[in-house]
Structure 1
Amino acid sequence: MARTLSDPARTAGVGMTSARTRARMVARLRSKGIRDERVLAAMAAVPRHLFVDSALESRAYEDSALPIGFSQTISQPFVVARMIELVLQERTPGKTLEVGTGCGYQAALLATICPEVYSIERIKALHERARRNLLALRLANLRLVHGDGYAGLEQAAPFHSIIVAAAAPHLPQALARQLAPDGRMILPLAQPAGGQRLLLVERRGRAYQESELDPVHFVPMEAGKA
């Protein structure tokens, strides 16, 4: 069950802080096939408008990606819900790593579901923005890190779940090694012929099972810090 969050008003826009507005978004997600009630409850609880620029607040609950600066985006709500649902797949949530904090929205969703969440962002300005965005929600189980997502977070591993929010050209081996036994990772993977697909990676002891799933469109995953 999603944690109860405060809903601080940052705008006087009609409906922007209304639970009914988020409920309509959740209804659309349900109609598109999202079934995990934990994911739907988190989407209903976290105010997405707090994570977008003020000029875009009227579009915060559309099912679309929106720019957040630095050539990055806040992902489409359906894709966010789909990735979280895939990585959880009716399991009891455990320690989770997010690669690509961005504005902090997905990190907030994960922190309402999972007991312990770490989120890495390579762009310092976005890392700081996410920290500001998340302050009002008081999520004590969420840790933000400025670092290289390709390297993961060895000091906090192993992780029950890993979610990558940028498209990698190949499976990052450091992240695969940081999966716990029976852990799962979901990431967008660039295809040799063009385009991207979600890749679900499941660790089975020392072996890894990979399943290619939905076509998606994410910004490229870059190495290093900026």
Structure 2
Amino acid sequence: MSNCGTAVILHIDSTHRILEVGTGSGYQAAILSEIAQEVYSVEVIKELADKAKRRLQEVEYTNVHTKLGDGYYGWNEYAPYDGIIVTAVSEKVPPSLVEQLKNNGRMIIPIGTEYSPQNLVLLTKNSKGITHTKHVLPVRFVPLTGKH
């Protein structure tokens, strides 16, 4: 799924606060920053986090905030988020991410294991905080790493 595709699925607009789990190079965070009001991105690999932060600062993306950390736990300090994008496969939806998602928010996350079929899942949280999931398409992602 393309970076723009995830933004479309989440219905991101210029008023949204977005959490990205897995900064990588910072490319997707840069794209999201052109659409959303604020982007918060968590990366577990120090070298990637440092390089992405430096790149994003060099090109003056002032609405992108990065940190080194275990994305499984999100970034509670700036929650709740209108949308959450997870860029690594998890066996289940992390409860901490569901808690950090606003009511009427949307999360896109690959679910499965490294060596089994994976599905991109859209999780929506309604106005009462009840969640619903929908399989979007089969995918292949690297595993969500960390100490969880």
TM exceeding 0.5: yes
User: Where do 5+ consecutive residues of structure 1 fail to align?
Assistant: 1-77
Give the whole-Å Cα distance in 2 for the aligned partners of 1:107 and 1:92.
14
Give runs of aligned pairs for residues 11-22 of structure 1, distance below 5 A: none
Confirm whether residue 116 of structure 1 aligns to residue 68 of structure 2: no
Deviation per CA, 1:166-220: give whole Å up to 9, x if none.
01111111001100010000011116x9211110000012210100111111101
After TM superposition, list the pairs within 5 Å mapping 1:32-43 onto structure 2.
none
State TM-score, norm by structure 1.
0.61
* CA RMSD between the two structures: 1.8
- Give unpaired runs (5+ residues) of structure 2: none
Question: What percent identity do the matched residue pairs reach?
Answer: 36
With over 3 angstroms needed to count, the CA separation of the structure-2 counterparts of 1:180 and 1:155, relative to structure 1, is same
1:218 alignment counterpart:
141
User: Could you say which structure has the higher helix fraction?
Assistant: 1
More strand by share: 2
Cα gap change, 1:224/1:93 in structure 2, threshold over 3 Å: closer, same or farther? farther
Q: How many positions carry a matched residue from both structures?
A: 146
Please state whether the residue corresponding to 1:138 is helix, strand or coil: coil
Distance of aligned partners of 1:132 and 1:168 in 2 relative to their CA distance in 1, 3 Å threshold: same
Match among 76, 79, 101 for residue 154 of structure 1: 76
Question: Aligned AA for 1:224?
Answer: K
- Partner residue in 2 for 1:96: 18
Deviations 1:56-85, CA, capped at 9 Å, x for gaps: xxxxxxxxxxxxxxxxxxxxxx53222221
- Match of 1:159, as an amino acid? Y
Tell which has more relative contact order, 1 or 2 (C-alpha 8 A, sep 6+). Answer: 2
1:169, 1:213 → 2: CA distance? 16
CA distance in 1, matches of 2:9, 2:39: 17
Give the number of the structure whose alpha-carbon radius of gyration is greater: 1
Which residue in the other structure is 1:172 paired with?
94
Change (3 A) 1:212 1:93: farther
